[in-house]
Amino acid sequence: MNATVELHVIIGSGALGMALSRELLARRKRVRMVNRSGVADVPTRVYVFRGNAADPATLREACEDATVIYHCAQPSYKDWVATAPALMDGVIEAAAVSGARVVYADSPWAYGPEPGPLTEELRCRPSGVFGAVRARLAARLMEAHQSGRVRATIGRAADFFGPFSRTSLLGRYVFDPAMGGRTIRVPGDPDLPHTYTYIDDFARGLVVLAERDESLGQAWHVPSAETVTTRCFVEMVLKELGAQTRLQVAPRSGFTVRGWFDPAAKALNETRQQRDRPFVLGHGKFQTAFGAETTPHPEAIRKTLEWWRQNPA
**Helix (H) / strand (E) containing 196:** strand 196-198
The CA-atom distances, in angstroms, between 121 and each of 124, 221, 233, 290 are: 10, 10, 27, 17
Candidate from 34-43, 98-107, 110-119, 228-237 with smallest mean pLDDT: 110-119
Summarised one tens digit per residue, pLDDT across range 191-243 is: 999 999 999 999 999 999 999 999 999 999 999 999 999 999 999 999 999 98
The count of C-alpha atoms lying within 13 angstroms of the C-alpha of 133, restricted to the half-sphere facing its C-beta, is 17
Question: Which residue ranges make up each domain of the chain?
Answer: 7-161+196-224+280-295
In angstroms, rounded to a whole number, what is the distance separating the alpha carbons of residues 115 and 118? Answer: 9
Residue 203's pLDDT is what?
99
The CA-atom distances, in angstroms, between 193 and each of 41, 200, 272 are: 34, 21, 14
Tally of CB atoms within 10 A around 122: 17
Q: Which CATH superfamily is domain 7-161+196-224+280-295 in?
A: NAD(P)-binding Rossmann-like Domain (3.40.50.720)
Residue 127's pLDDT is what?
81
297: pLDDT confidence band, cut at 50, 70 and 90? very high
**Crossing angle for the helix pair 230-241 and 297-310, to the nearest 10 degrees:** 50
Candidate from 6-15, 84-93, 207-216, 243-252 with smallest mean pLDDT: 243-252
User: Does residue 21 contact residue 9 with C-beta atoms inside 8 Å?
Assistant: no
**Helix (H) / strand (E) containing 184:** strand 184-187
Candidate from 38-47, 157-166, 299-308 with smallest mean pLDDT: 38-47
**Crossing angle for the helix pair 129-146 and 263-270, to the nearest 10 degrees:** 80
Residue 89's pLDDT is what?
96
What pTM was estimated for this model as a whole? 0.93
User: Does residue 78 contact residue 263 with C-beta atoms inside 8 Å?
Assistant: yes
* Strand pairing report for 68-71 and 219-221: unpaired
Residue 265's pLDDT is what?
58
Summarised one tens digit per residue, pLDDT across range 113-144 is: 888 899 999 999 888 888 899 999 999 999 99
Residue 183 per-residue DSSP state? P
pLDDT at 170 over 70: yes
pLDDT at 266 over 70: no
